[in-house]
Amino acid sequence: MKGRIALVTGAGSADGIGFATARALADAGARVAITSTTGRIKERLRELGARGGHIALTADLTDPEAVAGLVAEINAKLGKIDILVNNAGMVQTGRKERARLFHQIEAEEWLRTMDINLNTCFHVTRAVLPPMLKRKYGRIVNIASVTGPLVTNPRSAGYSAAKAAMVGLTRALAIEVADRNVTVNAVAPGWIETGSSSKAEVIAGRNSPAKRPGRPEEVAAAAMFLASEASSYVTGQMLVVDGGNTIQEYKGRSADYY
C-alpha cells in the first residue's frame, strides 16, 4: 500500500469496521483520509497518527455537493484517490434509528435508510471513479452485509434491501470498469462485535460455527486484500466474513445436532 491514497468512509467509531480498515491501510503504508458525520473523526486521526500524512474530514455523504467538496479537498491535500472503502452505513453516529416491520415503515424512514446505506456509496464512488478510470488504477471495496444478499431478520427490510442493492451495484460497476484496471468488490460481514452491537447480536455471534462474534480487524483484513494489488484479478465478488454462520443449516444449540 506504500504511496497509495485511500479514502475510508464511516470511520468515526474507535471500535468499528471503518476505523479498523483505515488503521490497517495506514499500517501498510497508505496515506488515508477518514470521514464521519461528527467531530469524533478528529479523535480517530490522533489515534491513527497524523505523522503519516493522514487527514480526517467531516462530511454528510448523503449530500452530493458535500461529497464533491470532500473529494476535492482530499485531492488537494493528499492526491488522487487510489483506494475507496465505502463503509458508511447501518447507523449514523449521533442519530438513533428505529427498527420497524415493513408495513409500519414510513416513506421518509425508508428513503433515509436508502440514503445512509446505499446512496452514500453511490455519491462517493461516482465522485472518485473518473480519475481512477483516467489513470487506469483503482480499488473500490464496498462494505455490505450478509443481511440482504444472503439472509435477513424481521424489521430489517430497508437495511436488507439497501445492502442487497449495494452488492448488485458492485457487480454492475465491476463489469463496466474491469478493462481499466479498476476492481470493485464487496465484503459481507456477519455478526461482528463493535461498540454498537446489542446483547442479542453478540449472542448470535456466539451461536455461529466459530462460537464467537467476529472482530472489526477480521473484516478489515478482507477489505485489505481486495484493496491490494494482489487482488488485481478479483472483481465483482462478495467476500463473506461471518465465521461460517450463513452455511449452517441447523440454527439451534450445536449440542443438539453437531
Sorted by where each begins, the domain ranges of the chain are 5-256
pTM of the full predicted structure? 0.94
Architecture, CATH, for domain 5-256: 3-Layer(aba) Sandwich (3.40)
The order of strands in the sheet holding 31-36 is 55-58, 31-36, 5-8, 83-86, 138-143, 182-189, 238-241
Confidence check: pLDDT of 252 > 80: no
Residue 196 binned pLDDT confidence (cut-offs 50, 70, 90): confident
Active-site annotation holds for 137: no
Q: Grid coordinates in use for 12?
A: 468515526
Give CA–CA dist 33/22, Å, rounded.
8
Q: Secondary structure of the chain: what % helix, strand, coil (to 5)?
A: 45, 15, 35
Candidate list 159, 233, 257, 258, residue with the active-site label:
159
Q: What is the pLDDT of residue 94?
A: 46
Q: What is the pLDDT of residue 98?
A: 73
Residue 251 binned pLDDT confidence (cut-offs 50, 70, 90): confident
Confidence check: pLDDT of 27 > 80: yes
Q: What is the pLDDT of residue 195?
A: 84
Confidence check: pLDDT of 92 > 60: no
How large is the average pLDDT for residues 12-24? 95
